Amino acid sequence: MAQLSLRGIRKRFKALEVLHGIDLEISHGELIVFVGPSGCGKSTLLRLIAGLDPISDGDFLLNGRRMNDVAPSRRGIAMVFQSYALYPHMDVYENMAFGARLMGLTKAEVEARIADAARMLRLEPLMQRKPRELSGGQRQRVAIGRALVRKPELLLLDEPLSNLDAALRSDVRLEIAKLHRDIGGTTIYVTHDQVEAMTLADRIVVMNQGRIEQFGTPRELYETPANTFVATFIGSPRMALLPVTRDGSQLGLAGSGAVDAGMQIAGDERELTLGVRPDGLILRPANAATGLAAKVVYTEYLGDNAYVYARLSEGTLVSIRCSPDTRPAPEEDVRIDLVPGKAHVFNRTSGERLPA
């Protein structure tokens, strides 16, 4: 059982503050992903939870107990490092046994836990090998195994896929998701890859510049991003942001005409930011009655669908998801319309989402 509370967590390195008050409640059994661009503070936050760096300010509670001053080894937390950090002088068995023995378990218990982990991670044939005799994927599994034998209440994974090749990455991703379900603990996973975050997480913490931008399920983040940062960070190809002027339900874009928002927009600001994803746009011929005027730049054919990239008159490049049969010629004039209910509207200055 692991339930985490982070309350007003701040981290300073000398004069530089890198985390500016993180508040987070994580319930038992969740798989939480911290995602954000490099330097956003996600790994720092993970190290504070692990206890590897001291918390400058705020409280970290694990199951209601304040952990700020508890040594890393006493927190009931295990961590898988980006470089795996296996002990190079110990074989696979010893790597897993080292931490378990230090917990004061009986010899039989240590053996049993290692056997369990080895079976779950298919490590049995590798037990006598040294880390340098293993492939990247095997080292990764040993690192996870080493964490599992300690039966942690909370498992931390720091960019565990970043050192694997692309083909292996999706396999290991699935394994981690399955492992999390099987062992049923709480897991925190750090990545800069939003696809990893979307596919794995129960809930995602999107971080930027030492702050949490949004905390929610993958679906919430995709469908109702809290601000333009989350909106453009989540989803691929990324959401296009258009500076529009409101006139009733019509949203006008300089030089490209106007479109109907197809929804109620709160507030009364006239200057707004319209966010549109590829699946929220429809490509129409140049002579269509509605839509924003644009010029096709190029088309990405992906087999099951195609993305048409078009430039609006004011210069923004938007991508539109189309059927794979759509092959507009470059430089062709087209019109782009909104799918009703799929537009996102943000405050132009603050970037905050305007409720529909």
Contact set with other proteins (CB under 8 A): 50-52, 71-74, 77-79, 81-83, 85-89, 98-99, 102, 130, 132, 150
- CB 351, min distance to other proteins, A: 36
b or e along 52-88 (b: 16 or more beta carbons within 10 Å of the residue's beta carbon)? eeebeebebebeeeebeeeeeeebbbbbbeeebebee
Does residue 119 sit in helix, strand or coil?
A: helix
User: In Å, how far are 208, 309, 320, 330 from 317, measured between CA atoms?
Assistant: 24, 7, 10, 13
- CB 158, min distance to other proteins, A: 9
Of 132 and 219, which has the nearer Cβ to other proteins?
132
What's CA 187's distance to the chain center, in Å?
14
Of 73 and 217, which has the nearer Cβ to other proteins?
73
DSSP 8-state secondary structure symbol assigned to residue 238:
P
- CB 251, min distance to other proteins, A: 50
Of 134 and 306, which has the nearer Cβ to other proteins?
134
Of 99 and 291, which has the nearer Cβ to other proteins?
99
- CB 27, min distance to other proteins, A: 23
Task: Give 107's Cβ-side CA count (13 Å radius).
Answer: 0
- CB 52, min distance to other proteins, A: 5
Residues 6+ away with beta carbon under 8 Å from 246? 252, 265, 269, 270, 271, 272
Of 141 and 344, which has the nearer Cβ to other proteins?
141
Angstrom distance (rounded) from CA 174 to CA 116 = 19
Which residue do the tokens 């002990």 mark? Answer: 87
Of 53 and 220, which has the nearer Cβ to other proteins?
53
Decide if 52 contacts 13 (C-beta within 8 A).
no
- CB 86, min distance to other proteins, A: 8
- CB 148, min distance to other proteins, A: 13
Of 88 and 315, which has the nearer Cβ to other proteins?
88
User: Angle CA(147)–CA(152)–CA(158) in degrees, nearest 5?
Assistant: 50
Categorise residue 58: left if φ over 0, alpha if ψ from -120 to 50, beta otherwise: left
